[in-house]
Amino acid sequence: MKQYWVYVLLCRDGSFYIGVTSMLEQRIAQHHQGAFPACYTYERRPLKLLHTTQFATAYEAISAEKKLKSWTHAKKHAFVRGDWGELRRLSRGVPRDGGPSTSSG
């Protein structure tokens, strides 16, 4: 049975790259080797693999990838650290100081 992974890479510039693949080890090696010059990670090497999650279907993996890509840098950082309290706080839009939110959403 084919498996799919969503993975998170930390780039040299501090940005995150989130991808989906059915061949995790091969795809990560391609990122490290710079196999695709047009890829976001090419000029941002070296890279560090921070997180992987395995899925049973491509649909589930792609859905998770899209969700993660839509998050702010701070939420992605909390996610890869496993800081679930911070992730929940950021998801609610509560400012770090605990004061009232100034956002309209």
CATH number at residue 47: 3.40.1440.10
Query: SS3 of 9, please?
Result: strand
Whole-model pTM? 0.85
Spatial CB neighbours of 16, under 8 Å, sequence gap ≥ 6: 8, 9, 10, 50, 73, 76, 77, 80
Within a domain: 31: yes
Within a domain: 14: yes
Within a domain: 39: yes
Provide the pLDDT for residue 103.
42
Query: SS3 of 14, please?
Result: coil
Residue 15 has pLDDT above 90, yes or no: yes
Least confident of 12-16, 49-53, 101-105: 101-105
Query: Which residue do the tokens 């000029």 mark?
Result: 43
Within a domain: 101: no
Provide the pLDDT for residue 18.
98
Ramachandran angles phi, psi of 98, nearest 5° = 85, -5
Total count of domains within the chain: 1
Within a domain: 94: no
Cα-based distances in Å from 92 to 43, 72, 75, 87:
34, 13, 11, 9
Residue pLDDT, tens place only, 31-84: 999 999 999 999 999 999 999 999 999 999 999 999 999 999 999 999 999 999
Within a domain: 62: yes
Within a domain: 103: no
Q: Which of 80, 84, 85 is nearest to 48 (CA)?
A: 80
Provide the pLDDT for residue 78.
95
Query: What's the domain range around 15?
Result: 4-70
